[in-house]
């Protein structure tokens, strides 16, 4: 295969994958982000496209018009709309698709996790866990907590949130990585009673879970949206590079054979 690979990004994996794919001979990478962050981290070795495709139909047209030969969805594990569109759109355009999903964090001894299926369920469950909440679910999820008048929130996000949002809230604008020492001091300093987080996985933001364990704090863990059964998926950037390398080899052999 020689051609263009679309990497759906917005993640550290997406950027790392893009840099590695760009080293493969005959491969040109288009790295796509939603465009919600003012100063996004970007890979250097790719064409960058910014903004939504316009749903499944828009993505299908884009894949055809841009001559995309393979799609790798390296979006965040909770970017379920984009992943669903990638699955349907790549099928419609007859383009091979792979999803890269980093593993979630495992619950370990000493953790006090309470799993909830959604942000709304996390907000509904807060009543049993004290008043002061450390919210690390990103600014886009803050609306789910807007009606929680009895709680005070420390929201940590990369960009400032916009309404609707809780009446009693402090905002910390920060991007990982974070350390266990830093997270412990932050939670102690703000007298946090409970942590609310998505199970994003990865090393950049795992320290909050270790800190919560050390401090004996409960964690409301919002479950990941499941991948539709049968979706081709790998856990690492290296496996995704191997997938594309095999695809390149297979297509080149079929062209010359
Ligand atoms: P989402 O709900 O699945 O996507 C909403 C819409 O945003 C999609 O339908 C699509 O618009 C557009 N979009 C999303 N990812 C895109 C991409 N990589 N390139 C082009 N358009 C994209 O996603 P989300 O949860 O809002 O996340 C948005 C972006 O932030 C993703 O790229 C994700 O990797 C990154 N991110 C998300 C989280 C999280 O917790 N959800 C955390 C860290 C980073 P159209 O329908 O118009 O195509």
Euclidean distance between the first and the last CA atom of the chain, given in angstroms as a whole number: 13
pLDDT at 126: 96
Q: Which atom of ligand 1 is nearest to the CA of 32?
A: 19
Same domain, 160 and 140: yes
The span from the CA of 127 to the CA of 188, in Å, is 21
C-alpha 29 to ligand 1 mean position (Å):
18
Q: Ligand 1: residues whose CB is within 6 Å?
A: 8-11, 32-34, 36, 52-55, 58-59, 75-76, 78-82, 85, 138, 140, 198
Q: Which atom of ligand 1 is nearest to the CA of 140?
A: 26
The span from the CA of 151 to the CA of 130, in Å, is 8
Same domain, 97 and 184: no
Q: Which two tokens stand for residue 5?
A: 């690979």
Select from 14, 34, 136, 159 the residue to mutate for testing ligand 1; criterion: most ligand atoms less than 8 Å from CB: 34
Same domain, 98 and 182: no
The span from the CA of 165 to the CA of 135, in Å, is 12
C-alpha 23 to ligand 1 mean position (Å):
26
pLDDT at 249: 77
C-alpha 79 to ligand 1 mean position (Å):
5
pLDDT tens across the length of the chain (257 residues): 558 999 999 999 999 999 999 999 999 999 999 999 888 999 998 999 999 999 999 999 999 999 999 999 999 999 999 999 999 999 999 999 999 999 999 999 999 999 999 999 999 999 989 999 999 999 989 999 999 999 999 999 999 999 999 999 999 999 999 999 999 999 999 999 999 999 999 988 999 999 999 999 999 999 999 999 999 999 999 999 999 999 987 666 665 55
CB contact set of 194 (below 8 Å; sequence gap of 6+):
126, 129, 130, 132, 133, 134, 217, 218, 219, 220
pLDDT at 2: 56
C-alpha dihedral sign at 238, 241, 30, 92? negative
Pairing label, strands 233-234, 97-100: parallel
pLDDT in tens, 87-100: 999 999 999 999 99
- The answer to whether residue 214 sits within a structural domain is yes
- The answer to whether residue 201 sits within a structural domain is yes
10 Å CB burial of residue 141 (0-12, 13-18, 19+) is: buried
C-alpha 41 to ligand 1 mean position (Å):
15
- The answer to whether residue 86 sits within a structural domain is yes
Q: Which two tokens stand for residue 240?
A: 């995704």
Give the residue, by CA position, lying nearest to ligand 1 atom 10: 52
Q: Give the CATH number for residue 78.
A: 3.40.50.720
pLDDT in tens, 31-84: 999 999 888 999 998 999 999 999 999 999 999 999 999 999 999 999 999 999
> Where in the chain does DSSP place strands (E)?
3-8, 27-33, 47-50, 68-73, 97-100, 113-116, 132-135, 152-157, 169-173, 194-198, 219-222, 233-234
Same domain, 129 and 216: yes
Alpha-helical (H) ranges within 136-205 are 180-189
Same domain, 87 and 17: yes
- The answer to whether residue 107 sits within a structural domain is no
Domain that holds residue 172: 113-222
SS3 100: strand
Select from 82, 84, 176, 221 the residue to mutate for testing ligand 1; criterion: most ligand atoms less than 8 Å from CB: 82
pLDDT at 251: 65
| Closest among 87, 92, 28 to 60, alpha carbons compared | 92
Q: Count of domains in the chain?
A: 2
């Amino acid at each position: 295969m020689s051609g263009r690979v679309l990497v759906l990004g917005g993640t550290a994996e997406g950027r790392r994958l893009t840099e590695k794919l760009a080293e493969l001979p005959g491969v040109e990478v288009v790295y796509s982000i939603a465009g919600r962050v003012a100063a996004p981290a970007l890979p250097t070795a790719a064409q960058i496209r910014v903004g939504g495709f316009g749903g499944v139909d828009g993505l299908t047209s884009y894949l055809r018009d841009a001559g995309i030969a393979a799609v790798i969805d390296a979006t965040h594990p909770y970017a379920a709309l984009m992943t669903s569109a990638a699955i349907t759109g790549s099928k419609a355009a007859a383009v091979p698709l792979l999803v890269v999903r980093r593993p979630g964090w495992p619950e370990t001894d000493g953790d006090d996790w309470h799993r909830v299926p959604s942000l709304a369920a996390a907000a509904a469950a807060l009543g049993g866990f004290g008043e002061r909440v450390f919210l690390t679910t990103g600014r886009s999820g803050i609306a789910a907590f807007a009606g929680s008048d009895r709680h005070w929130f420390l929201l940590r996000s990369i960009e400032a949130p916009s309404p609707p949002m809780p009446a009693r809230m402090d905002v910390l604008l920060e991007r990982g990585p974070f350390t266990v020492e830093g997270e412990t001091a932050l939670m102690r300093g703000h007298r946090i009673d409970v942590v609310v987080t998505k199970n994003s996985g990865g090393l950049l933001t795992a320290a909050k879970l270790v800190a919560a364990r050390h401090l004996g704090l409960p964690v409301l863990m919002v479950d990941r949206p499941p991948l539709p059964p049968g979706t081709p998926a790998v856990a690492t950037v290296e496996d995704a590079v191997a997938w594309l390398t095999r695809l390149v080899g297979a297509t080149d052999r079929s062209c010359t054979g």
